Homo-oligomer: A and B are copies of this chain.
């Protein structure tokens, strides 16, 4: 662990000069090119790495951000992993470190943040399930001067910059695809009214009337998307002899449930009924019939969140940003493939 001091000793120059040269902070004048080169060489040879703690201490920063994620309800969706991939990529470029924590409830959230608040981090990225009481907690922290960026689908407050994908756009992307496929009787599995807006938009664009028989709303346990909702939606529609030629679910788990029930009822996917989900989960391509799904761009959003937080820490102006959801088409909305083995093929473009 060589320090500036060692490089300086080696060359019999001063530490401050070495610092200036290595950081390109030479002011108006500059150093003798030959000397500068020798300094760079020695640094290289000794394998010098800046001590981030010392630099941060001097700068009054922490060069670290906390990432707080509520995992509940997203298991298997790969969202957390995608978000972290984006965040880690961006923090690496910025020579920042993370403090990663998963929290289960608002109490644990408060506890963690209190522990970190100052002295350890420069700011906070919050994502995962949007807990009802979370906003008060975050606003409290915000008013005490802690930079915060959220990664929810939409901003939870005007004062907290958010990196989102609009819920209505998510479902609208799926609806446009279904409409383009010629489907008109689209069963909507809904647990979130914000997303239902996208369903209505899609119908409207196609000049279709909303049929309440085709909308199955159930907010699920704990406000999360569950497989059972898909099962129930399909079961009810079939039991009531409601005709439908497509299922537009608000999550991949719901879509899976719907597909399972359709298969049990002897329906063929996609010949009889086509199905779309949301999240572009890793298991979407592993399903019995690989599932068409809308990508919420979590990896991109993670990167963007780090950037926003950085601006916030530097007191630069910031504002919420939205990413456009991307539809990935798979077999559940395509003509059946001759060889089931090749169903794993994938038309994914982002991530």
Q: Which of A223-257 contact B (CB under 8 A)?
A: 226-228, 231-232, 253, 256
Counting from the closest, the 5 A-B pairs by CB-CB distance are A76-B282, A49-B119, A283-B283, A75-B282, A97-B97
Q: Is the CB of A119 within 8 A of B64?
A: no
Q: Is the CB of B57 within 8 A of A118?
A: no
| A53 interface contact, C-beta 8 A | yes
Closest to A2 in B: B118
Q: Which of A258-274 contact B (CB under 8 A)?
A: 260-261, 263-264
Name the distance in Å between A338's Cβ and chain B's nearest Cβ.
Answer: 13
| A99 interface contact, C-beta 8 A | yes
| A303 interface contact, C-beta 8 A | no
How does the 8 Å CB contact mask read for A291-326 relative to B, with 1 for contact and 0 for none?
A: 000000000000000000000000000000000000
A–B Cβ pairs within 8 angstroms, 26 of them:
A47-B118, A49-B117, A49-B120, A50-B119, A52-B62, A52-B119, A53-B53, A53-B54, A53-B62, A75-B81, A76-B78, A76-B281, A76-B282, A88-B100, A88-B102, A92-B99, A92-B115, A97-B97, A98-B99, A98-B100, A227-B286, A227-B344, A228-B341, A228-B344, A260-B288, A263-B288
Given contacts A49-B117, A80-B81, whether A231 and B340 have CB atoms under 8 Å apart is: yes
A341 touches which one: B88, B115, B231 (CB < 8 A)?
A: B231
Question: Which of A102, A119, A288 has most B Cβ within 10 Å?
Answer: A119
Name the distance in Å between A68's Cβ and chain B's nearest Cβ.
Answer: 10
| A81 contact set on B, CB distance < 8 A | 71, 75, 80-81
| A231 contact set on B, CB distance < 8 A | 340-341
A97-B97, A283-B283 are known; give 19 further A-B pairs, CB within 8 A. A1-B118, A51-B57, A52-B62, A52-B119, A53-B53, A53-B62, A57-B57, A64-B97, A76-B281, A76-B283, A91-B100, A95-B120, A98-B99, A228-B344, A231-B340, A231-B341, A253-B286, A256-B286, A281-B283
| A228 contact set on B, CB distance < 8 A | 341, 344
Name the distance in Å between A51's Cβ and chain B's nearest Cβ.
Answer: 5
Give chain A's interface secondary structure class: helix
Distance of A244 Cα from B95 Cα, bound (Å): 55
Q: Which of A25-57 contact B (CB under 8 A)?
A: 47, 49-54, 56-57
Given contacts A97-B98, A283-B283, whether A120 and B52 have CB atoms under 8 Å apart is: yes
Distance of A77 Cα from B286 Cα, bound (Å): 11
Question: Which A residues contact B (CB, under 8 angstroms)?
Answer: 1, 47, 49-54, 56-57, 62-64, 71, 75-78, 80-81, 84-85, 87-89, 91-92, 95, 97-102, 112, 115, 117-120, 226-228, 231-232, 253, 256, 260-261, 263-264, 281-283, 286, 288, 340-341, 344
Distance of A76 Cα from B281 Cα, bound (Å): 7
Q: Is the CB of A286 within 8 A of B283?
A: yes
Distance of A32 Cα from B253 Cα, bound (Å): 62
Q: Is the CB of A340 within 8 A of B57?
A: no
Distance of A101 Cα from B89 Cα, bound (Å): 7
